[in-house]
Structures are given as structure tokens and as C-alpha cells.
Amino acid sequence: MAAADFLVQSTVYLAAAVICVPIAKRIGLGSVLGYLIAGMLIGPFVFGFLGEEGEDLMHFAEFGVVIMLFIIGLELEPEKLWRLRKKILGVGMSQVLITAAVIFGVTLALGLVWQTALTVALALSLSSTAIVLQTLSEKNLMDTEGGRNSFSVLLFQDIAVIPILAILPLLAFRSVSSEEGSNTVLEGLPLGLQTVAVLGAVALIVLAGRYLIVPGLRVIARARIRELFTAAALLIVVSIALLMQSVGLSPALGTFLGGVILANSEYRHELESDLDPIKGLLLGLFFIAVGATIDFALIAENLVLVTILTASLMAVKFLILFSIGRFFNLLIGQNFLFAFALAQAGEFAFVIFSFAAQLGIASDQVLGLGISVVALSMTVTPLLFIVNERMIQPRLCDGIPEEEQEPDEVEERNKVIIAGFGHFGSTVGRFLRANGVEATFIDNDPDRVNLLRKLGFKVYFGDATRADFLLAAGAQDAEIFISAIDDPERNYGIVESLQKFFPHIQIMMRANNRYDAYEFVDMGVKNIYRESLDTSIRLGVDVLRKLGGTAYTSTRAGQQFLKRDEEAMWELAGHRHDEKAYISEARARIELQEELLEKDMEDKAREQDHAWDSEPLVRGFGAGE
């Protein structure tokens, strides 16, 4: 493309964005749909401002997806990625495998050969990372349960691209020649050496992230030149993308890996802030390019077929996603969000179809129809978000909040801050107040905050995972922070914020069960309180007393059991990633605990045992007496 043509095409892209996106936002369609509409209008099949030469800008715009995945990686510390493993492997893997299997069966029934059917199934099983994450972020839905599950599925899909691209050559009817566009440095090498080279490239990214990039960023930061740091951030992304592409892997996945490696560095936030504007612009260009690639001539010729294929694809994916959400106990409103968000095909389908064309796996007609279905489904997705938001969620009791409420200004400063004013948190607060200790209460549920205020409670609305709100709530002067929230994911975020910005504060954390407690142990939390433990032991103590045990002996047995169980939890936390060692150690701890408790109960009753059974004390210890 000549320089003048490039400038013309760039002007057309940017002008279309500046005109269409504000209009789309104004009428409630969202920015993503605005970009897609802009692409349709300037594309070769409507006004024709862009021709085939616009493909160069398409490749340039695809770099926005690469930067987006790098920034996502920066936000995912390895420990957080490990905590998401159940959702990534459970929800994500089940979605890809089930969807691919269903589409494979349908395409086989339609008469495609199995190689083509499998390629189409793998391509269409993926969803659009760019559109979904952009829309979820724009609508403040990333922190919802549906948003987190959508992110986990997208994360698994991005990882799955590597084995998918590795499988395609095995399905090929012919090999890819250099003339057809293969430009990897591994071409012609034996398969074993290619595998070693690919693993070496991944290892190089890991080592460079730890021992080269971070020290280099320290040197650049000392220069105190902002644009130089931005250039360094772009250099990191471009270099990783080039390395991965040269060995035949996904540049987007490579930069995601680089982001995860740098997530623990002190320059994470600077890298993210420098790249975010560039990412936004390039993603916008990417969406415009997707809109421009929709072949309206092909769609017009096969209007009924393309419409049926697109609707069928989205219906099948919706039903599969909704079923998976039900299996993993998503509430109905969150499940609708989850299923609507991921019902489309994604941008990686373009990559898979392009590779399939080079390998001769599918005919031009099949690939043309596939690309049309992918682009059309991506275009429809923002409309599905609007349907869900305006027509479905208002009718559901667990729907998505319509708008984000501004956090309150906290007017008091206390030594204790309690996050979460449900039954657990309010009980702790009332106990402390009865003993002369005032606490600052914060909660992130606006409806509950409004109700509690009507009942006379002083509760502040705000998100305890945000460092700025914690600062406003007086965390810098507080001595103890109590989390009474029952959502483990939110509690993880709270711990991370407190440890990073307020390391002086003592954290006292509510845990739903032993496994949640293990996560907090890994994060370095010292004070962990399993919500069912004390109640269970208290009930057991009452059972012993009702069966004839004395108050002192029964209570002492309960305290001994609590002590042993807490010791066992801390000991077992170090073995939980090794199932064999965990089971062996757990059995040993249980046997030891039972022996010690049995020995303690066999001791002769002490004189003071019966003193505890005086009438006032008996009333004090009874469960409901």
C-alpha cells in the first residue's frame, strides 16, 4: 500500500469511528456495535470507501487484541490464575469440548468430510475475547459471577488456540508451501526439533520476564522519560508477539503469557496505564475491520442459509452455555448474562479459517460461509447484551445492577473496619460495640445499605477491593480489618489490596470452609475464621451435655477439638496440592486427634467439673436455654 493510500484509509477508519461511535453510545447501542456499524458502512459492500487494500489495516488492527491479552495477563498474578483453575478447567474446558462435539456432529450430518467438519467445529466453539471483555468492562459487569465465568471461559479458549493450530496440519489434504505464506523459522525442521524450539520460545519468555525485562524497566524508569517507558512497553509486546509468530504460535497467547509473568513486577500498573489508550484505539480499528469484512454480497446470495446458520450456531452455544451455568450453580440472572455473552463465534475463527485455507482443509465456499457466520454473530452480540439488559434482567430477582452507584464518603475513623454487614458481620459488630469497641461498617450491596440505613444502622456503601475506597474509609489509621463477606473471590481481592497498600493492618478473614481457608493461608493471612466450625463444635458440646456430660468437661472437649482442628488445617495447607500426601497426612492427623481427645475424656472428672453445672452457668451454656 502506498503512503498516500495508507493515509487515506487511516483517515476513513478514524472518521468513521469518530462519527458512528458517539451516535451508537447516545442511542444506547454501546461502543463495540458503533465500531462494527462504522466498518459495515465504509466497507466494500456498502459505501465502498475501503477496498481490498484495507486488509493491511486489518492486520495492524489485530494488534489491538494482542495488547489486550497482554494487559489481561498483567492483571492476573500467577496465584490468582491458580485460584481460577477450577473455573478455567471446569467451565472453560467443558464449554469448548461440548460445543465442538455438537457442531462436529451437525456438520458431519450436513455432509462435510470429517477433517473439514472438525476444523469448522473447533473454530466455531471459540468466542470473541475482544467483544465480550470490552462490553463487560464497559457495562461494569466484569466483577459479577457471570462476568467472571465468561472471563474464565475466554481464558481457556485463548489457551486452546495453541493445540487447535497444532492439530490443523494433521488434518491437511496438502502441506503449506513457502509461497502460500508460511513464514515460521521452523519450516523444514523435523517435528521433534520444532517441538523443542516451541518449548524453548516459551521458556525464553519466562526467563526474559524474570531476569531481563524487569531489570531493564528499572533502568528506563530512572531516566524519568514517560514516552520512553511507553516505547519500552510496546517493545515488550512486539518482541514477544514476533517470537511467538516466528515459531508458529499465537502472538496473542504469547503476550498473555508475558503479561502473567510481569504481573508480580512493580511496574505492572505503569505498563497497563501506558498501553491502555493504544489498546483501546487498536481494538476500535479491529472492530471496524470486522464490520468491513462482512461479505454482504455472499450473504445476499445465501440470505436464508447464512441467517439459519448464524441463528442455529448462537442458539446451540447459548443452550450449551446455559446448561453449563446451571451445572455450576450460577443464579438465573447471571446465567443469562454468561450464555448471552459467549454465544457468538470469535476473532480466532478468522485465524483458524485462514490457516485451513492454506492447508486446503475446506473449500472456498465453506470458508466464505464460515467467515460470514462468524462476523455476523460477532455483530449481533452487542444487541444480545442490550436484550439481556433491558428485557430479561429487569424481570429477574438476581439481575444485574442497572448502574454503578458512587461510593459513600466515610465520615468516621475507627481502629476496626468491618466489610460486609450481613448476619455474620452484624453479629461481630454488635459484640464489639457491647464491649466498647466502635467499628466502621462498609458493604458493596446498595439495596442492603439503603435498607440498613432505614433500620438505623450506620453503614457506608463502597467496594472494599478498591484501594482508594479503603483509604477513604480510614484504612491507613485502622489497626484491624475484618472481612465478613461470604464471596471468596471478593475476599481474595480485599486481601491483595490490603497487603499491597496497607501492610500494617491486621487482617481477620471469614472463610466458608477449609478449602477457602487454604487459599488464604497461601496468601499469607494469619487470622482465618471458618464460619461453620465454631457453630458445629458448639452444637457438639450441647450434645455431650444432653447425654450426661458435665459443662466443664464438654466445653473443654470442644475447645480441645477446636485447637487440634486449627493445627491440622495449618499443617495440611502445605500438602493440599499433592493429593496422595494430603490424604495420608489428613488420615494421620484425624487418628492423632481422636486419640488425644479420647485420652483427655478418659481422665477422671475434676472437682470443678460440677461447679460449672450450677444453675446460672447451665443457663449460660445451653443452646436455647
Express each pLDDT in 514-570 by its tens digit. 778 888 888 888 888 888 787 888 888 888 888 887 887 778 888 888 887 787 778
Q: Mind listing the pLDDT tens digit for each residue in 28-85?
A: 666 777 887 888 888 777 777 765 555 555 555 567 667 767 777 776 666 666 777 7
- Reply yes or no on whether the pLDDT at 598 is more than 80: no
Element (H, E) at 155: helix 145-171
Region 372-385 average pLDDT: 85
Q: What is the dihedral of CA 242, 245, 246, 247, to 10 degrees?
A: 130
625 falls in which pLDDT band (50, 70, 90)? very low
Confidence of residue 309 (pLDDT cuts 50, 70, 90): very high
Predicted confidence (pLDDT) per residue in 313-351, tens digit = 999 999 999 999 988 888 888 889 899 999 988 877 877
First CA to last CA distance, the chain? 87
- What is the overall mean pLDDT for the chain? 78
Dist CA 347 CA 159 (whole Å): 14
Q: Which helix (H) or strand (E) holds 442?
A: strand 439-443
Q: Which CATH number fits domain 3-395: 3.30.70.100, 1.20.1530.20, 3.40.190.10, 3.10.129.10?
A: 1.20.1530.20
**Residue 278 scores a pLDDT above 50:** yes
Mean per-residue pLDDT for 12-27?
Answer: 82
Percent of the chain with pLDDT over 90: 10
List, edge to edge, every strand of the sheet that includes 506-511: 459-461, 439-443, 416-419, 480-483, 506-511, 527-530
More confident residue, 328 or 358: 328
Smallest CA-to-CA distance from 13 within 289, 293, 294, 275 is with 289
Superfamily assignment of 411-531 in CATH?
NAD(P)-binding Rossmann-like Domain (3.40.50.720)
pLDDT digits (tens, 9 = 90+) for 416-470: 999 988 888 888 888 888 888 888 888 887 767 777 777 677 888 888 888 888 8
At 402 the pLDDT is 44
Segments making up each domain of the chain, as ranges: 3-395, 411-531, 537-625
What integer is the mean pLDDT of 374-394? Answer: 84
Q: Which three cell numbers stand for residue 307?
A: 441467517
Give the type of residue at 598: E
Query: CB of 385 within 8 A of CB of 31?
Result: no
Confidence of residue 600 (pLDDT cuts 50, 70, 90): low
User: pTM for the complete prediction?
Assistant: 0.57
Interval 283-303 mean pLDDT: 77
pLDDT bucket at 312, cuts 50 / 70 / 90: very high
Q: Using only C-alpha atoms, what is the Rg of the chain? A: 29
The predicted pLDDT at position 329 comes to: 81
Least confident of 169-183, 222-236, 299-313, 445-459: 169-183
Q: Which residues contact 29 (CB under 8 A, 6 or more apart)?
A: 37, 382, 383, 386
Cα gap 563→553, rounded to integer Å: 15
User: Which helix (H) or strand (E) element contains residue 416?
Assistant: strand 416-419
The residue type at 258: G
CA 403 vs. chain centroid, Å, equals 21
Query: Quick one: pLDDT at residue 122?
Result: 92
pLDDT tops 60 at residue 100: yes
